[in-house]
Amino acid sequence: MTESIPETPMVEPQNRSTGALILFLFIALPMPLCLYIYHFIVWSTEQSAIISSSLKNLEWAGLIGLAVQAFVMTGIMAALWYFTKDDRFKPVYAGLFGAAVVAFPALLLRLLGPNNDQVGFIAQFLLCIIGALLVIRLRKIKLNGDVLLCHLDCWWRALVLRLSQFSARSVPLAMHF
């Protein structure tokens, strides 16, 4: 153990700004709480519409609320990702933008209705595969045989886990009837 590891200095990003940090803290810290409150209000409105026939015109509150969230969050995150020059926050905004874009396929799943669990599961699974292939394509990841087998093994395990969760939930229901 006489080898010495050469010390390389850490390269600090040159374009750090206090304004970018304040904007990040202003957006990132309250976002989970604000989304939680927003979803509670939308969910309560939708439940009131289901319970009361006088509020029948509010039955689409959940789908409309999700659409509003998708457009607003995607727009805000796309703008922050595009206009932020600070290297510390650009990947964070890119990840939040990707997470906000996922709401658009969820809008299609909301249109399936409450009793289409199998169709919804297949649609979610296909959306995940399409998303994974899109990420592989955009990042130009080269998959050799070992890596591909590892990824297929992970996908297979996720599918088996999801199917076992679904069947574990449906067994008590089947036994009840």
pLDDT in tens, 39-74: 888 888 888 887 877 767 777 888 888 889 889 999
Q: Is residue 143 included in any domain, yes or no?
A: yes
Which structure tokens are listed for 144? 């050799």
Q: Is residue 9 included in any domain, yes or no?
A: no
Q: Is residue 72 included in any domain, yes or no?
A: yes
Pair (23, 107) in one structural domain: yes
Number of domains in the chain: 2
Residue with tokens 């229901």: 173
Q: Is residue 153 included in any domain, yes or no?
A: yes
17 closest CA partner among 68, 88, 108: 88
How much is the pTM? 0.62
Domain that holds residue 80: 18-111
Distance CA 42, CA 47 (A): 9
